[in-house]
Amino acid sequence: MVKSVYGDTIDLSNVGIFFNKDNQKAEYTAYNLKKILLEKEVESQILTTNNFNKDITFAFVLGGDGTILKTARYFSKFEVPILGINLGRLGFLSQAKSTQIEEAVDFLLKGCFKVEDRMMLTSLNGKMNALNDIVIKGDGFSRTSRLYVHINDNIVCDYLADGIIISTPTGSTAYTLSAGGPILSPILEAIVVVPICPHTMSARPIVIPSDEVIKVTSSQNKPLLKISADGQETYDLGINDDIEIKKSQFKAKLILLNLEKNSFYSVLKEKLHWGLSWKG
């Protein structure tokens, strides 16, 4: 066990290094990380994101945000902390680049880390869980859908739109942001509802408490719908299916390192260039 200066503990007795086999750089980086851990007397095993092992006690994840999201969804059920190493483009959920692996391991072993619980969403009677967002869209290409949003069984919005995004605070910097939604601190307990390209100027994003239940229904004369979790798991729905979305009982456990540099607001500024004025 390693105890952090913030009082959190992690179990390094069964460390997994997970990578996306489609990323050519990832396998090399995984073996490099394994070597660094072994030099520091930490045993580990290398696995792909197609071969998760529920007995893992701590997970390093090598890849982009999509790889981290997939790993976080799986290990949230087992309360396993994960540390992301960015091999992708933005890397909003990661804590270090591939060139900073040894530094990241040192931070971890010295206890300079924090375990941050991130709220998740669930739908389809628990079959679907998401760390970023759950998205509902029409099945047809370039088709709008009429979607009715109920919150705690009260009809709130009637959207004629390309779809709707139900997002966590973690997901507020992803698809939700691109669709015009607000940015929320990831430690908040809240849900964001954002229409995608609504056919009215009065349709605006809504932020609601995390304990409220959202139900989405569609009109009877529209095509089938698709629902997806984090843009990765997708299911088809019939026009008569009611879709209930609520806070999940599971939480993703993300490791934060070097909190001064990797604070949420520092990451906003560095990776999204947030609040920086244009210099001509």
* Catalytic residue numbers, as ranges: 65
| Widest distance between CA atoms in the chain | 63
- What end-to-end distance do the CA atoms of the chain give, in Å? 52
Cα 231 to Cα 97, 171, 222: the distances in Å are: 24, 11, 22
Cα 66 to Cα 91, 210, 267: the distances in Å are: 9, 24, 17
Which of helix, strand or coil describes residue 184?
Answer: coil
Strands (E), the chain: 2-3, 9-10, 15-19, 44-48, 58-63, 81-86, 96-97, 113-123, 128-130, 133-138, 145-151, 154-161, 163-167, 190-196, 206-209, 214-218, 225-229, 233-237, 243-257
Beta bridge partners of 235: 227
Angle between helices 101-109 and 24-39 (to 10 degrees): 40
Helical H segments across 12-169, by residue range: 24-39, 65-76, 101-109
